[in-house]
Amino acid sequence: MNAFNRAVRVGLLTMCLFTGTANASVLIAGTRVVFPAQDGEVTVRLTNDNSHPALVEAWIDSGDPKSTPDKVNVPFLITPPLFRMEAYKDQNLRIISTPAQLPSDRESLFWLNVLEIPPKPSTEEAAGKNLLQFAIRSRLKLFYRPVHLPGNAQTAPGQVTWQAVADGQGYALEVRNPTPYHVTIVKSSLDVSGKSYSADAGMVDPFGSLRLKVKGLTAAPVAGTPVAYDIVNDYGATATFKGSVSP
Q: Is 87 helix (H, G, I), strand (E, B) or coil?
A: coil
Residue range 5-56, pLDDT digits in tens: 444 444 444 444 443 345 678 999 999 999 999 999 999 999 999 998 999 9
Residue 119's pLDDT is: 77
Tell me the domains of the chain and their CATH numbers.
Answer: 3-145 (2.60.40.10), 156-244 (2.60.40.10)
CA atoms within 13 A of residue 147's CA, in its CB half-sphere: 4
Residue 72's pLDDT is: 93
Helix (H) or strand (E) holding 16: helix 3-16
CA–chain centroid gap for 23, Å, is 18
Counting as low any pLDDT under 50, the low residues of the chain are 1-21
User: How does strand 136-145 pair with strand 32-36?
Assistant: parallel
